[in-house]
Amino acid sequence: MPATASVSPTGDIRIDGLLSGIRWGVDTLTFSFPTSGSFYGSTYGNGEHLNNFEAFTPLQQDAIRTILKSYSEVTNLKFFEVTESSTVHGDLRYAESDSPSTAWAYYPSTSAAGGDAWFNNSKNWYDNPAKGNYAWLTMLHETGHALGLKHPHEARGSFGALSAEYDSLEYSVMSYRSFIGASTTSGYTNASTSYPQTLMMLDIAALQKMYGANFTTNAGDTVYKWNPATGEMSINGVGQGAPAGNKIFMTVWDGGGNDTYDFSAYSTNLSVDLNPGGWTTTSTTQLASLGSGKVAVGNIANALLFENNPASLIENVIGGSGNDRLIGNAADNTFVGGKGNDYIDGGAGQDTVIYTGLTSDYLRVEGSDGTWTITDQRSNGDGIDTLKNIEYLRFSDGVIALGGQTTPDQQPDQPVVVNAAPVAYADSYAAAKNTKLVVTAANGVLKNDFDADGDTLSATLVKGPAKGALSLKADGSFVYTPAKNFTGTVSFTYKASDGESTSATTTVTLVVGAAAAKGSKASKGAADHDHHVGDDQIPAPVSLTDKNADWLPFLLAKSKIAEFASASSGEHPKLALLADLMKSVEGLGGGQKHIKLHDFDDHGHGAAGLPDYMASAYSEFHLA
């Protein structure tokens, strides 16, 4: 058997109230499902293996595997299944016997019985475990004992009883109480499918005290979503299995990333609290029925922080179509209230509320108490929201900052616009061998770069070319002198700045020896992606080619947003650009037969950090 180790009190009764004082001294444990009582030995424990022994069924085994996986997801424990025999024994063993009237398990110990769990056989109470039923809870509970958790109403050595305000199944699967204040001797009073479906918040905290916290669990950007018809949770679109009834009674532990609770499928009046230990109520019909007219305090609890590490916080929430109450935490939260009249309190951090309409669709009024009322003037829109501790509003046409700009009851005429970082696009130029390349600002590296705020951009050199000499000016113009007799490709990098923010580092490719007009962009040969910018005019049609038939982004300046007219798609296509861009693209040669116009949103340009309101300002020509 593995070694054990002692546990010291933390001083936090929420944790100490569940600790037995003993844990396993290793982080890797084996488990098994013995098929014969003889595997336990003649002097085993309390003789459970001799009293109507029965092996676990495949259904029971699968339940234990899932439950052990859930323990490893919140701690650094790892579990490996072994096949039990007379010579091979799991550290944790699961079987049935009539020795316990219900079920019991042994605390961590170097004795043969240490870590073993037993479940009554003849009463058949544990034959059909499913998320949310009594059998499932009992398997969660007994595994907790096998790893060192005690009952919260009992004192053990230096570890006292849990405070009464936390002693119920709402906070720990180790509790004997269905609800706060219930009896510990009369049994559970929960409805048949209203038991916890996961370890609860205090279980997780106590286990992490003993075995550490697993910050690799869902450590990326994770979206948790629930089904109002079944109660099933999905993680990044993958269903996790529906509970036994349409109840949700669980705690979420998340290891890191920028994470989201998605309740967009709900039409109920949601109550969401993103704080550690906070509860979310999705629907009163999905609340666990605890008996004596009591229901659970909520459907979904957030785990407590481990050693104040904020990685486990959930950062974002998407509400439903009801009148929701959404409460943020210390992170920078993003809220989507959706339809309905919502109350949103961002708490600490720099928090943002997202709306579906234009800035002009909404009235914004600051109250004397510092709250804001945001009224969507459209029919069937986002409703009337009350906001507190919210720093930013994001509309389809931009982002504004709230607070500190006006006196109470006064709506700002010109809201503060949050500066958007410029976006720099890669460039390519051609130069002749042994010939200086002079590029003017009109054709320079900034020509195809973009700033959503319309700020004047300047270029800053990051790294020069490996061969030859380069002089880059702030206006984007540059002079490149190739190394003597050099032909081939070199590059340099730069950043674009709007005076407040800078773009990502961007590469400019120089093709020396290529046949191209001096000082012009070489949009026909070397690069996989060539970028063109249109402001007062569009580039010459002959530049809209690419040897790999890749996408050629065509960017309209913000001030020149216009619609494209329909056009023929025959041998000589023609697209007319309305408004200020009354130019045409026609007569492309070289075998190109069609120009396909595609929408911005279909091609993921948002990943480049561009604001959503520019969606209507982007199009692409694809040469098929």
List residues with catalytic annotation: 142
Angle (deg, nearest 10), helices 58-74 and 134-147: 50
Contact criterion met (CB below 8 Å) for 299 and 281: yes
How many C-beta atoms surround the C-beta of residue 363 within 10 A? 12
Contact criterion met (CB below 8 Å) for 455 and 498: yes
Contact criterion met (CB below 8 Å) for 361 and 399: no
Contact criterion met (CB below 8 Å) for 253 and 277: no
| Three-class secondary structure of residue 166 per DSSP | helix
Q: Which of 11, 365, 41 is nearest to 159 (CA)?
A: 11
Residue 316 tokens read as 């974002």
DSSP string for 426-482: -EEEEE-TT--EEE-GGGSTTTT-B-TT-PPPEEEEEE--SSSEEEE-TTS-EEEEP
If you compute the radius of gyration of the chain from its CA atoms, what whole number of angstroms results?
A: 32
In the DSSP assignment, the letter for residue 149 is B
Pairing of strands 22-24, 4-6: antiparallel
Residue 399 tokens read as 């982002």
Contact criterion met (CB below 8 Å) for 587 and 575: no
Return the residue matching tokens 């109450």: 325
Q: Which of 421, 400, 401 is nearest to 498 (CA)?
A: 421
Residue 524 tokens read as 């026909």
In the DSSP assignment, the letter for residue 254 is -
In the DSSP assignment, the letter for residue 115 is T
Q: Which of 423, 424, 426, 425 is nearest to 509 (CA)?
A: 426
**Sequence letter at residue 175:** S
Query: In angstroms, rounded to a whole number, what is the distance separating the alpha carbons of residues 461 and 447?
Result: 16
Host H or E run for residue 300: strand 300-302
How many C-beta atoms surround the C-beta of residue 61 within 10 A? 16
| Beta strand spans in 501-617 (E) | 506-512, 532-534, 551-556, 574-576, 584-586, 595-599
Query: In angstroms, rounded to a whole number, what is the distance separating the alpha carbons of residues 95 and 60?
Result: 9
Q: Which of 69, 74, 76 is nearest to 31 (CA)?
A: 69
Query: In angstroms, rounded to a whole number, what is the distance separating the alpha carbons of residues 27 and 457?
Result: 55
Strand arrangement of the beta sheet that strand 469-472 belongs to: 437-439, 478-481, 469-472
Half-sphere exposure in the Cβ direction for 340 (13 Å, CA): 21
Residue 250 tokens read as 């669980």
Contact criterion met (CB below 8 Å) for 247 and 193: yes
Contact criterion met (CB below 8 Å) for 611 and 399: yes
